[in-house]
């Protein structure tokens, strides 16, 4: 059964900026989805900001294995309710791949617990993404580095937690470096942040970028059933303790009472 | 110069519940502050939910080195604006020590990016906190374990990110375990979660608990100047690149334009 | 193509101790291999200390995907050359599952860089392994805890590096706790330490233990080609630098000279 | 009381190579020790390969708080017994700072459990070390980056475990990147790897490098008493269990018997 991926695109620059529309006439999200659908094993569809509930209803998220997120100009227009819904699905086990300017999306900041800030420069300079761990599943099929002739510079310090795994570190022509591929877990969900993808360059037409995205979808997919109870804080009554114990001492809660939240 | 600590207490049970008031007539926050003020090196004061801005104004947080947080019944009454203010100060370098039911506070969930849920049982059972790394600064002065004759059970799974360091793991009479002392970093700020502290037991009168709290304040203190710019995402103009480069390719942003947020 | 697993058994207690032989007449290694071979996807064979090169020749390791290791009385009899050979294969991408008293094996200490010491008691007491992350692939098919009616106690502090992931934490009848399932990476290889498995109890006949072992083999398998060059430290000549540079400054090494090791 | 630091230098190139001797007439180790002794709080001495027991006797290590290690041509001449002695002291709590080509020293490889390999080029090119976390104690007093006009290139992949904290990432003129400042813990000991320091450039005369080294010594110092028992694996008899239990089941070990190692 193929992995069900949804590529979420903000879809603003493609509508408003002639350069971006020229490179991505169908929108970046459609270009990315098409790349994911090449070959076997992934069935990708798209969703955009402009759709009702941004295309991310409860029902759709419930059947999504991996969500990819590209946003930039309109982070503030994303509904807080949808952000919480996505966060909950990640905790339950949905994979999340955050692309480029998505570093500043509500959902990424929500899951990292940090500002997710960085430095930037839009100068069309060369970027070289060095592979840190050659046998990581996300870099399967790549050589020792991935080169982008024109890229937006993203520079350190990148205000994120220390990652579980550093997959790529980038070199920039103008003298900066950036941890450009980082892995995290939040609850049962795997998260991959991948920094390339500025909208005025044809980065999402690059075959090596396609390879990384496909690998990342496979890596982020958690086949376990959704961990629905991860947001619960259940009481374990004395009668159900694994070891026989007796109620002792003063109590705040009466029998059967729920905890505070 | 002593470390400036602020002990934040929700101060609800102490007002409403006779058992809790009996154990902590001045409130848990005052008991904790008093323990911190024993010996040299820490100057602790208190703040409560009921004060204007919960006692955590910009000015006061700006001069706070380490904040301790105990909340339970009234997590939902804490202002979102104050939570963001506290989060920002943590990123800038303020230490944060989250106590017991504070696992479900807005600020801890905000900084972890996870549900922070757990199992619980209020049965007055025995808890034994085993020291994982004997030479960690937070356990200085303790033996191999810290015993609490009566404690509330907190059980796994504890839905938090994998910690930077596991300092304590607890054994419970009723058969559960819990990672009861965990270290994190978020930006320049150090965070310690410590699970003991149920309000119907005299845990904050325990001298070994005092030792842990004093150690934790010292550990969490970052003497570096506040990292004020951590929430900024500055543009680095071509003219200020460390290596000489020229502007190339199409652009989205005009010169001097700010990035999107 | 099935995952090729090799179960390495010290095979000493099974020969010398009547109790152990009674429980594992074919040896623990054969019992474990048989459990792995149940169902699809894994082809397990065995190797023992007594075989030439302990059954772990270069050729055999080269075609092994995942190695399981159980040793106890004869850690010191394992050849250092074989240990280095196994370590190299782990760095190249072979998975390694270290069982029970294997915590003190040369290979585990070699890969951890720590003493790997712990406390112990052979009292036939109850152990309960709590699942920390319910959707981790290693716990697929388990409930919230795995109970062993009789087990050897292994207690903290367990002198290992902070793990990448804590999968199990154990509760013991006698009052201790232990981080009983831990994940690490070393080079391209994944390592899982799993503490149950004392030889005088029928633990390797337990179906839930079989589930964990099969899951762990699947998790530890890295399908990428062996990272053969991981132990090399290649010179990159000026002429092959990705950016054009010129030789500058004084030099220690002449052209084409190898580095020191 | 000042922190007692020992700077260990291989002291080979300084004796054999005129360029190196010209830059470091007293040896790199003396230059580093002198830098550490500037200002208060650190008392640094030196030790070299050529001394009996390489200058690292049991007695001297016992009173050393932090050891700095520079080696290159003669890694193979360092006695295995001294390496084990140093590793044990790190586990007990001694800090260790590994410099430059020390990445391939026996002691660093011993503590990492990985090959510690990398790419290299001796071309006198520019290196820029970007600060990843501006408020980390190791970078106190630095700006956003530290520039070296001439440096040896060290390139990824650097075959080390994922670090606890990434403090520096380097940019090189020839197009590579390197994780040039990394923190680890092994037992009670803190380890900092810092890559600058090629012997044919005056890097250890650089005041910003001095700042990093002094900061690192302060960071690596663990004031707790040595954790002498960290290599022990003590039996906890039934009679000393924290919870009352009875001996059950078959046993391998007789009363009072030591465990295997």
- Average per-residue pLDDT in chain B? 96
d(Cα C98, Cα A210) in Å, to the nearest integer? Answer: 37
Identify whether A45 is part of a domain.
yes
State the pLDDT at residue C191: 98
Q: How far is CA A172 from CA A128, B230, C152, C229, C242, in A?
A: 7, 22, 55, 26, 12
Contacts of A232 in chain B (CB under 8 A): 117
The mean per-residue pLDDT over the stretch C78-106 comes to 98
Distance from the Cα of B24 to chain A's closest Cα (Å) equals 14
Tens-digit pLDDT profile for residues C172-229: 999 999 999 999 999 999 999 999 999 999 999 999 999 999 999 999 999 999 999 9
Residue A188 contacts C where some CB pair is shorter than 8 Å:
yes
The mean per-residue pLDDT over the stretch D186-202 comes to 97
- CA-nearest residue to A156 within chain D is D132
Residue B142 contacts C where some CB pair is shorter than 8 Å:
no
| CB atoms A171 and D172 under 8 Å | yes
State the pLDDT at residue B172: 98
| CB atoms C248 and D150 under 8 Å | yes
DSSP state of B208: H
Residue C125 contacts B where some CB pair is shorter than 8 Å:
no
Tens-digit pLDDT profile for residues B186-240: 999 999 999 999 999 999 999 999 999 999 999 999 999 999 999 999 999 999 9
Residue A160: pLDDT above 80?
yes
D178 close to D172: Cβ distance less than 8 angstroms: yes
One-letter-per-residue 3-state SS of C147-207: EEEEEEEEECCCCCCCCCEEEEEEEECCCCEEEEEEEEEECCEEEEEECCCCCCCCHHHCH
d(Cα B154, Cα B174) in Å, to the nearest integer? Answer: 11
Residue with tokens 């002739």: A149
A214 close to A36: Cβ distance less than 8 angstroms: yes
B40 close to B79: Cβ distance less than 8 angstroms: no
Q: What is the CA radius of gyration of chain A?
A: 21
Q: Is the peptide bond before B184 cis (omega within 30 degrees of 0)?
A: no
Residue among C17, C174, C184 whose CB faces D245 most closely: C174
- Token pair, residue B230, equals 């951590």
| CB atoms C245 and D174 under 8 Å | yes
Collapsing DSSP states into helix, strand and coil, what is residue D32? helix
D126 close to D150: Cβ distance less than 8 angstroms: yes
| CB atoms D242 and B185 under 8 Å | no
Q: How far is CA C69 from CA A157, B114, C133, C204, in A?
A: 42, 35, 24, 13
Please state whether beta strands C42-48 and C3-9 pair in parallel, antiparallel, or not at all (unpaired). parallel
The mean per-residue pLDDT over the stretch D229-246 comes to 96
State the pLDDT at residue C252: 84
| CB atoms A169 and D169 under 8 Å | yes
d(Cα D114, Cα C155) in Å, to the nearest integer? Answer: 27
Distance from the Cα of B96 to chain A's closest Cα (Å) equals 14
Q: How far is CA A60 from CA A36, A66, A67, B31, in A?
A: 18, 11, 11, 50
Residue B154 contacts C where some CB pair is shorter than 8 Å:
no
Identify whether D103 is part of a domain.
yes
C190 close to C219: Cβ distance less than 8 angstroms: yes
Residue C170 contacts A where some CB pair is shorter than 8 Å:
no
Tens-digit pLDDT profile for residues D20-35: 999 999 999 999 999 9
- Token pair, residue D72, equals 């290159």
d(Cα B157, Cα A176) in Å, to the nearest integer? Answer: 41
Among D58, D179, D47, smallest CA distance to D112 is for D179
Distance from the Cα of A259 to chain C's closest Cα (Å) equals 21
Residue among C131, C162, C175 whose CB faces B171 most closely: C175
State the pLDDT at residue A254: 72
Dump strand ranges (E) for D84-231.
Answer: 95-99, 119-131, 145-155, 165-172, 177-186, 189-194
Identify whether A120 is part of a domain.
yes
| CB atoms C156 and B132 under 8 Å | yes
d(Cα A148, Cα D112) in Å, to the nearest integer? Answer: 33
Distance from the Cα of D156 to chain A's closest Cα (Å) equals 6
Identify whether C46 is part of a domain.
yes
Residues of chain D numbered 39-78 and touching chain C (CB < 8 Å):
72-76
Tens-digit pLDDT profile for residues C125-152: 999 999 999 999 999 999 999 999 999 9
Residue D84 contacts B where some CB pair is shorter than 8 Å:
no
| CB atoms A227 and C137 under 8 Å | no
Identify whether B261 is part of a domain.
no
Please state whether beta strands D95-99 and D189-194 pair in parallel, antiparallel, or not at all (unpaired). parallel
Distance from the Cα of D134 to chain B's closest Cα (Å) equals 7
The mean per-residue pLDDT over the stretch A251-258 comes to 74
Collapsing DSSP states into helix, strand and coil, what is residue B27? coil
Residue D122: pLDDT above 80?
yes
Tens-digit pLDDT profile for residues A51-84: 999 999 999 999 999 999 999 999 999 999 999 9
| CB atoms C93 and A188 under 8 Å | no
Q: Which chains form contacts with chain B, at 3 or more CB pairs under 8 Å?
A: A, C, D
Residue C256: pLDDT above 90?
no
DSSP state of B40: S
Q: Which chains form contacts with chain D, at 3 or more CB pairs under 8 Å?
A: A, B, C
Contacts of A145 in chain C (CB under 8 A): 242
Residue D255: pLDDT above 90?
no
A91 close to A55: Cβ distance less than 8 angstroms: no
Backbone angles phi, psi at A170, to 5 degrees: -100, 145
- Token pair, residue D254, equals 């007789």
Contacts of A199 in chain B (CB under 8 A): 252
Identify the band that residue A256 occupies on the pLDDT scale cut at 50, 70 and 90.
low
Contacts of D201 in chain C (CB under 8 A): 249-250
Top pLDDT among D254 and B13 is at: B13
Backbone angles phi, psi at D96, to 5 degrees: -140, 130
| CB atoms D131 and A169 under 8 Å | no
Collapsing DSSP states into helix, strand and coil, what is residue B201? coil
Burial profile D216-252: b = 16 or more Cβ within 10 angstroms, e = fewer: bbbbbbbebebbeebbebebbebeebbeebeeebbbb
| CB atoms B249 and A176 under 8 Å | no
d(Cα B107, Cα C149) in Å, to the nearest integer? Answer: 41
Looking at chain D, the whole-number percentage of residues with pLDDT higher than 70 is 97
Identify the band that residue B258 occupies on the pLDDT scale cut at 50, 70 and 90.
low
| CB atoms D187 and C243 under 8 Å | no
Residue D183 contacts B where some CB pair is shorter than 8 Å:
no
The mean per-residue pLDDT over the stretch C23-32 comes to 97
Identify the band that residue D256 occupies on the pLDDT scale cut at 50, 70 and 90.
low
- Token pair, residue B47, equals 């703040």
Tens-digit pLDDT profile for residues A110-141: 999 999 999 999 999 999 999 999 999 999 99
| CB atoms A252 and B153 under 8 Å | no
Domain limits for position C144: 3-220
Residue C23: pLDDT above 90?
yes
Top pLDDT among B243 and A249 is at: B243
Residue among B134, B187, B242 whose CB faces D188 most closely: B134
- Token pair, residue D209, equals 């490098």
* Test mutation, D135, D188, D236, chain B, max B CBs within 10 A: D135
| CB atoms A110 and B113 under 8 Å | yes
The secondary structure of chain A as a DSSP string is: --EEEEEEE--SHHHH-HHHHHH-TT-HHHHHHHHHHSSSSEEEEEEETTSGGGG--HHHHHT-SEEEEE-STTGGGS-HHHHHHHHHHHHHT-EEEEEGGGGGSHHHHHHH-S----EEEEEEEEEEEEESSTT-GGGTT--SEEEEEEEEEEES---SPPPSEEEEEEEETTS-EEEEEEEEEETTEEEEEE----TTTTGGG-HHHHHHHHHHHHHH---SPP-GGGG---B--GGG-SS-----S--SSPTTPPPP-
Residue D128 contacts A where some CB pair is shorter than 8 Å:
yes
State the pLDDT at residue A250: 87
Q: How far is CA A210 from CA A147, B14, D212, in A?
A: 13, 59, 41
The greatest distance separating any two alpha carbons of chain D, rounded to the nearest whole angstrom, comes to: 72
Strand partners, B127: B148, B172
Say if the ipTM goes beyond 0.85: yes
Residue D71: pLDDT above 70?
yes
| CB atoms D121 and C186 under 8 Å | no
State the pLDDT at residue D39: 76
Identify whether C114 is part of a domain.
yes
- Token pair, residue B189, equals 């700020």
**Interface contacts (C, D; CB < 8 Å):** 202
Domain count, chain A: 1
Identify whether D210 is part of a domain.
yes
* Test mutation, B127, B130, B134, B177, chain C, max C CBs within 10 A: B177
d(Cα D184, Cα C142) in Å, to the nearest integer? Answer: 33
State the pLDDT at residue C159: 98
| CB atoms D135 and B242 under 8 Å | no
Identify whether D79 is part of a domain.
yes
- Token pair, residue C187, equals 């080079």
Please state whether beta strands D189-194 and D177-186 pair in parallel, antiparallel, or not at all (unpaired). antiparallel
Q: What is the CA radius of gyration of chain D?
A: 21
Strand partners, D183: D165, D192
Residue D215 contacts C where some CB pair is shorter than 8 Å:
no
State the pLDDT at residue A258: 67
Residue D144: pLDDT above 70?
yes
Residue A40: pLDDT above 90?
no
| CB atoms B251 and A110 under 8 Å | no
Neighbours of C243 (CB within 10 A): 15
Dihedral of alpha carbons A140, A143, A144, A147, sign = negative
Strand partners, D170: D129, D178
Contacts of B176 in chain C (CB under 8 A): 130, 171
Residue among B136, B223, B227 whose CB faces D134 most closely: B227
Residue B140 contacts D where some CB pair is shorter than 8 Å:
yes
State the pLDDT at residue D258: 67
Residue B117 contacts A where some CB pair is shorter than 8 Å:
yes
Collapsing DSSP states into helix, strand and coil, what is residue D249? coil
Q: Which chains form contacts with chain A, at 3 or more CB pairs under 8 Å?
A: B, C, D
For residue D58, the domain's CATH number is 3.40.50.880
Q: Please tell me whether the overall predicted TM-score, pTM, comes out greater than 0.95 for this model.
A: yes
Q: Is the peptide bond before D81 cis (omega within 30 degrees of 0)?
A: no
Tens-digit pLDDT profile for residues B112-160: 999 999 999 999 999 999 999 999 999 999 999 999 999 999 999 999 9
Q: Which chains form contacts with chain C, at 3 or more CB pairs under 8 Å?
A: A, B, D
């Amino acid at each position: 059964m193929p992995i069900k991926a949804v590529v979420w695109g903000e879809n603003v620059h493609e509508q408003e900026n002639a350069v971006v529309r020229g490179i991505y006439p169908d929108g970046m999200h459609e270009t990315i989805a098409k790349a994911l659908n090449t070959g076997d094993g992934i069935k990708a569809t798209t969703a955009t900001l402009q759709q009702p509930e941004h295309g991310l209803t409860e029902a759709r998220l419930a059947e999504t294995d991996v969500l990819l997120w590209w946003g930039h100009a309109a982070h503030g227009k994303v509904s807080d309710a949808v952000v919480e819904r996505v966060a909950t699905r990640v905790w339950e086990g949905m994979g999340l791949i955050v692309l480029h300017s998505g570093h500043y999306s509500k959902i990424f900041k929500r899951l990292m617990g940090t500002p997710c800030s960085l430095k930037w420069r839009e100068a069309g300079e060369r970027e070289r993404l060095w592979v840190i761990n050659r046998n990581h599943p996300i870099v399967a099929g790549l050589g020792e580095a991935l080169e982008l002739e024109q890229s937006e510079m993203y520079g350190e310090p990148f205000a994120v937690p220390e990652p579980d795994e550093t997959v790529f570190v980038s070199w920039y022509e103008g003298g900066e470096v950036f941890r450009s591929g980082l892995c995290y877990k939040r609850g049962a969900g795997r998260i991959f942040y991948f920094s390339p993808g500025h909208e005025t360059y044809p980065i999402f037409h690059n075959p090596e970028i396609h390879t990384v995205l496909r690998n990342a979808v496979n890596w982020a997919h958690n086949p376990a059933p959704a961990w629905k109870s991860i947001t619960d804080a259940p009481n374990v009554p004395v009668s159900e303790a694994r070891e026989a114990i007796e109620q002792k001492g003063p109590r705040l809660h009466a029998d059967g009472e729920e905890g505070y939240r």
